[in-house]
Amino acid sequence: MRNIVKVKDIVFDKDLFINYLSGTVLDLLLCSYRGLPKGVNYMVIGDPGVGKTTIILDLMANIHKMQPHVRMLFVSAEMNEIDLAIYVQRYPKFGNLDIMFVEAEFDTDAHTLEDFEDTLTEGWDIVAIDSFYELQGIVKEEENITLKKAESLLLAIIKKQNKAENTRGVHTSFLTIQQVTKSGAFIGSNRLKHMITAMMELRLDNPKNIYSDRYVTFSKHRRGDVGVKLYYSLSQTGDVYFDEKRFYNDRKLRTLQNEVSSQLHEYADRFNKLFNHIQDGNE
């Protein structure tokens, strides 16, 4: 029998609606009530070289600076220890984050899926995965199963953590980088798309020019707005510089456009009522 409830009767822990804050303008894009929510799944896709890993690590480092008590884990299925050590030399602010390295070990009795689940069961507030497709591929090979089955197993683990089924009883939020096709389309099943709370896209104004302006936008967002662009640039220290002035100007413009659109609809409704009234009177 299906569980049928009224939303007004559901009781939530108030702490569930206290978001993680980075102290940057990105907080306004992450959620309508500011910051990264708890127990959500944000997928991150983007053009090659646009800085997906850097954006995520910067967000986590900024949250750690604002709220040192927040437990965060970065799961690296693409970069190994040496790769990430060199990366941290360029971007020192990422050096204090907890890292779980996942590598394909096909000639040993590796248990990536089991290790992944056991680690998450410890209870983490925020977990970032780079990337889901790589992790999925490693699980597929080690467990000798299909990609679809590997995806299902990983999503089941993530869902349990969203629901706070861990030793700390925390609703884990996931920031998951996902690969895209050459045309920039999302790779993944309909089930994966359904699990996503928000789709964060990092894009170039001109995809053919790596030096063109970069921006963050959401194409799907259950907790905020879609289509809003936040431009940014990367520095040699790992900091991400967001163009706040441009963001606020664009937001004002969108507000004005919505107001004008509402007024036009109102005038159109008045005209239709007046026209119908005149037409009825002539009959």
Return the domain boundaries, the chain.
14-242, 246-283
CA 126 – CA 21 distance, rounded (Å): 12
pTM: 0.86
The fold of the 14-242 domain, in CATH, is: Rossmann fold (3.40.50)
CA 6 – CA 247 distance, rounded (Å): 38
pLDDT tens, the chain, 283 aa long: 567 888 888 888 888 889 999 999 999 999 999 999 999 999 999 988 889 999 999 999 999 999 999 999 999 998 889 988 888 888 888 888 999 999 866 656 668 999 999 999 999 999 999 989 999 999 999 999 999 999 999 999 999 999 999 999 999 999 999 977 666 667 778 888 889 999 999 999 988 888 899 999 999 999 999 999 999 998 766 679 999 999 998 888 877 776 676 666 666 667 676 666 666 666 5
Which residue, 46, 60, 29, is CA-closest to 221? 29
Q: Are 47 and 214 in contact (CB under 8 A)?
A: no
Residue appearing with tokens 């009177």: 281
My answer on whether omega of the bond before 76 falls inside 30° of 0, hence cis, is no
Which residue, 193, 187, 189, 127, is CA-closest to 157? 127
